[in-house]
């Protein structure tokens, strides 16, 4: 069994009864724990107009977390490039790389990370910006490359720093682009599972070696809701289920406390939609969730795994990520995948 590094995706969640300031303190605390538990990367995601997600100014929060850690790679998973000019992002992440050399990642996606009204409030035409995404990615890569003689527009800092760029996707489009450009590929299977296996296969089939990467590198994301017992883990999972139900209703809000009875909260149609979106979630005790996690890795043949969890209680979220790291470390040491 090859060694599988593990990484962490955080949305800086704002729980009911808390503020974004609490979310930022929790984000740094989680990253500090993740560093001790052997996580390779800690990424934050760009979302806008979402009361339960505090990482809208993603590069600022990346800097806050990087300043509180020392070895773990910190980055964006991802920056929604249609919301920004490539130059602005190159300057932001060039600044981060200058402050924290060798520790900054940048994954970019073409979704707005918001609804269409909010996307327009960001001063970009969402449709045209999405169509420009491949060109914007190449412009971004050029801005991180060594500055050429006579180059009129430079990212200062940024030029020549070679900040690692990933393509973040939830469909076949991102897989095609990552393969064509020879970039690493992260898939958002924690909420968009349906195209995962096809996208990974397409990326690997058409991957073109590049100065950035010699061979394909796939990092799919999966939810982890791990506790002492299966019942306790299922209860923790109900927070994420409520969050996605609220998204279906067009009423995003702060993270809600767990519930014992979801059937009184959602309709059958909402339940079917949420279960479809959260198909790749490892929920249960260490033994139960461990089997699910390794089934996921085996199915995707992942080169790296990214874990995420929308859990209301910060201590329970820490424990879930700690147990996940223990599962992965134990299986790496024994070189055995343990199936039921």
Residues 236-280 pLDDT 10s: 999 999 999 999 999 999 999 999 999 999 999 999 999 999 999
Query: Is there a domain that residue 78 lies in?
Result: yes
The pLDDT value recorded for residue 113 is 53
Q: How far is CA 277 from CA 201, 242, 270, in A?
A: 20, 12, 11
Q: Locate tokens 């996208």: which residue?
A: 199
How many C-beta neighbours within 10 Å does residue 260 have? Answer: 9
- Residue-wise pLDDT tens digits, 96-138: 999 999 999 999 998 765 566 776 777 666 567 778 999 999 9
The pLDDT value recorded for residue 306 is 98
Query: Is there a domain that residue 15 lies in?
Result: yes
The pLDDT value recorded for residue 333 is 60
**In which domain, by residue range, is 95 found?**
6-334
Where do runs of H (alpha helix) occur along the chain? 20-36, 58-67, 86-99, 116-121, 126-131, 133-144, 172-181, 196-206, 230-248, 268-277, 286-300, 314-334
Separation CA 161–CA 149 (nearest Å) = 16
Q: If DSSP codes are grouped into helix, strand and coil, which group holds residue 89?
A: helix
Query: Is there a domain that residue 340 lies in?
Result: no
**Cis ω for the linkage preceding 78 (within 30 of 0):** yes
Query: Is there a domain that residue 1 lies in?
Result: no
The pLDDT value recorded for residue 128 is 73
The pLDDT value recorded for residue 339 is 35
Separation CA 64–CA 146 (nearest Å) = 27
- Residues whose CB falls within 8 Å of the CB of residue 176, separated by 6 or more in sequence, listed in order: 202, 203, 206
How many C-beta neighbours within 10 Å does residue 79 have? Answer: 27
> What does pLDDT average to over the chain?
93
Q: If DSSP codes are grouped into helix, strand and coil, which group holds residue 307?
A: strand
Residue 269: is it exposed, middle or buried by C-beta count within 10 angstroms (0-12/13-18/19+)? Answer: exposed
Least confidently predicted of 114-123, 237-246, 285-294, 326-335:
114-123
Query: Is there a domain that residue 71 lies in?
Result: yes
More confident residue, 111 or 34: 34
pTM: 0.93
The mean pLDDT value for 196-218 works out to 98
266 is written with which tokens?
């959602």
Q: Label residue 336 by pLDDT band (50, 70, 90).
A: very low
Q: What is the CATH number of the domain that holds 233?
A: 3.20.20.30
Query: Is there a domain that residue 311 lies in?
Result: yes
Residue 54, pLDDT above cutoff 60: yes
Query: Is there a domain that residue 83 lies in?
Result: yes
Query: Is there a domain that residue 339 lies in?
Result: no
Q: If DSSP codes are grouped into helix, strand and coil, which group holds residue 154?
A: coil
- Residues whose CB falls within 8 Å of the CB of residue 90, separated by 6 or more in sequence, listed in order: 140, 143, 144, 155, 158, 159, 163
Residue 337, pLDDT above cutoff 60: no
Select from 108, 85, 55, 211 the least CA-distant residue to 155. 85
The mean pLDDT value for 80-97 works out to 96
Q: Locate tokens 């003689």: which residue?
A: 149
Looking at the chain, the whole-number percentage of residues with pLDDT higher than 70 is 92
Separation CA 35–CA 33 (nearest Å) = 5
Residue 74, pLDDT above cutoff 90: yes
- Residues whose CB falls within 8 Å of the CB of residue 233, separated by 6 or more in sequence, listed in order: 225, 226, 227, 283, 284, 285, 288, 289, 320
The mean pLDDT value for 168-196 works out to 96
User: For the chain, how many structural domains are there in total?
Assistant: 1
């Amino acid at each position: 069994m090859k060694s599988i590094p593990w990484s962490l995706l955080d949305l800086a969640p704002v729980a009911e009864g808390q503020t974004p300031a609490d979310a930022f303190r929790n984000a740094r605390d989680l990253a500090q724990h993740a560093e001790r538990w052997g996580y390779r990367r800690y990424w934050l995601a760009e979302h806008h107009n979402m009361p339960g997600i505090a990482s809208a100014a993603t590069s600022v929060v990346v800097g806050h977390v990087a300043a509180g850690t020392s070895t773990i790679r910190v980055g964006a998973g991802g920056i929604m490039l249609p919301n920004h000019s490539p130059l602005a992002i190159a300057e932001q992440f060039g600044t981060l790389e200058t402050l924290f050399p060798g520790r900054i990642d940048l994954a970019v996606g073409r979704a707005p990370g918001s609804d269409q009204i909010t996307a327009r409030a960001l001063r970009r035409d969402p449709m045209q910006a999405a169509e420009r995404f491949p060109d914007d990615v190449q412009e971004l890569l050029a801005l991180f490359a060594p500055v050429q003689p006579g180059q009129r527009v430079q990212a200062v800092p940024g030029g020549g720093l070679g900040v690692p760029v990933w393509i973040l996707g939830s469909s076949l489009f991102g897989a095609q682009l990552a393969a064509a450009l020879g970039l690493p590929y992260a898939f958002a299977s924690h909420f968009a599972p349906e195209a995962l296996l096809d996208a990974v296969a397409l990326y690997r089939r058409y991957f073109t070696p590049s100065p950035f990467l010699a061979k394909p590198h796939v990092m799919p994301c999966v939810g982890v809701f791990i506790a002492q017992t299966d019942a306790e883990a299922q209860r923790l999972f109900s927070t994420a289920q409520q969050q996605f139900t609220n998204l279906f209703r067009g009423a995003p809000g702060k993270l809600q406390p767990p519930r014992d009875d979801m059937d009184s909260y959602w309709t059958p149609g909402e339940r079917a939609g949420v279960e479809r979106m959260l198909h790749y979630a490892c929920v249960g005790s260490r033994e139960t969730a461990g089997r699910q996690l390794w089934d996921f890795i085996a199915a995707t043949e992942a080169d790296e795994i990214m874990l995420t969890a929308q859990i209301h209680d910060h201590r329970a979220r820490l424990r879930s990520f700690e147990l996940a790291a223990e599962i992965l470390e134990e299986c790496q040491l024994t070189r055995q995948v343990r199936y039921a």
